[in-house]
Amino acid sequence: MAKPTYKKPEPKPTHGVPARAEWGRTHATVLAGQAHIDGLDHVAIEMERKWGADRLRLLVSAELREKFDRQRFLVNNAIWSGSLEDVRISCERMIKAWQALDRSATESGQAVLNPAVWEIALEGGETLALARSDADANHVAREGRAVIIWSLEEVARLISARVFEQKVKREFPGASITVVRQTISDPLRRMNSGSLLDDEIPF
């Protein structure tokens, strides 16, 4: 009796690509897709360094903000379940969307982020602003955002005193830390990433 033959399965790339994504089927397409995503992420990081986390989309017109959010929706869908070509096109358009917001905010005279303040988005939706000094903390731009502001001086005092946790428990007996929602919420967080937009491409 002949031994059954088995075809050795193709090795699956070790990556964090969503299971439904066509572009994640081989190592070559993963590298190509990630190259486009990395380029987009670089632009987004630079824009947030310049304007602040989640701030730039609030400095432009409602019409441009809507187009920007539509393009974010499309690029998310491409990354989640699209082909390599979908990822490439959507990332290129998303970069154009960031550039359009940057141009619009600059031309309308909006103030860029104070270089003495660093910002990062937190998991709960709010923004953490870390200022160099107590004086710099007074210049953090809010624009309708939920911003938690800390100065390096405050951080240093808390670390030196080691009293932060004890002080919170003493001032607020039985208190627990809960999620603080954004003042202006991100519309894409309420949408199913697998759904479709049936209108024209925004960028």
Residues 46 and 85 in one domain: yes
Residues 30 and 98 in one domain: yes
* Helix or strand holding residue 77 (H, E): helix 62-81
Do 160 and 93 share a structural domain? no
The 8-class DSSP code of residue 59 comes to S
* pLDDT tens by residue, 8-59: 554 455 467 888 899 999 999 999 999 999 999 999 988 988 888 788 999 9
Residues 32 and 103 in one domain: yes
Range in 17-26, 80-89, 99-108, 188-197 with the lowest mean pLDDT: 188-197
**189 part of a folded domain:** no
> Is 124 found in the same domain as 101?
no
How many separate domains does the chain show?
Answer: 2
Q: Which residues of 157-191 are buried (b: 16+ CB within 10 A; e: fewer)?
A: eeeeeeeeeeeeeeeeeeeeeeeeebeeeeeeeee
Q: For the chain, how big is the Rg over CA atoms in Å?
A: 22
Domain assignment of residue 40, yes or no: yes
Please report whether residue 70 resides in a domain: yes
Q: What is the pLDDT of residues 150-161, one digit of tens each?
A: 888 888 877 776
d(CA 17, CA 67): 26
Question: Would you say residue 64 lies in a domain?
Answer: yes
Q: Are residues 69 and 148 in the same domain?
A: no
Could you tell me if residue 44 is inside a domain? yes
Q: Which tokens in the block code for residue 47?
A: 């824009």
Residue 130: domain span? 117-171
Is residue 202, in this structure, part of any structural domain at all? no
How many whole angstroms separate alpha carbon 54 and alpha carbon 56?
6
In a domain, 66, yes or no: yes
Residue 198 in domain: no
- The token pair at 14 is 């070790």
